[in-house]
Amino acid sequence: MIKSELVQAVAARNPHLYHRDVENIVNAVLDEITDALSQGTRVELRGFGAFSVKNRPPRSGRNPRTGEPVFVEEKWVPFFKTGKELRERLNPDDKD
């Protein structure tokens, strides 16, 4: 699902809202998550999951084309951990 499909799905479930308002809401939520992560803050959506930022330390890598060693600088990467409710919906217990 891409963002425009998410906007359409939310708009379909809420016919009393204008499509542009739904689009603004989705953009606002995603912007707030992005802003919080850029400040190093963890974002938790109960039942869905938690977004955080992890540090990848500098390391020595290899250029895949030439095999030549390359220095890879330290970087911060987004990380998502699923919530319990989402995991349970994706993997229902077979109690047959």
pLDDT in tens, 58-92: 999 999 999 999 999 999 999 999 999 999 999 98
Q: Whole-number mean pLDDT of the chain?
A: 94
Question: Which tens digit of pLDDT belongs to each residue from 40-56?
Answer: 999 999 999 999 999 99
Q: Tell me how crowded residue 22 is: count the other CB atoms within 10 A of its CB.
A: 19
Does residue 96 register a pLDDT over 60?
Answer: no
Q: Mark out the alpha helices in the chain (DSSP H runs).
A: 3-13, 19-38, 84-90
Pick the residue with more confidence: 79 or 96? 79
Count of Cβ atoms closer than 10 Å to residue 46 Cβ: 9
Q: What is the pLDDT, as a whole number, of residue 94? A: 54
Indicate whether this model's pTM tops 0.75: yes
Q: Which domains does the chain have, with CATH numbers?
A: 3-90 (4.10.520.10)
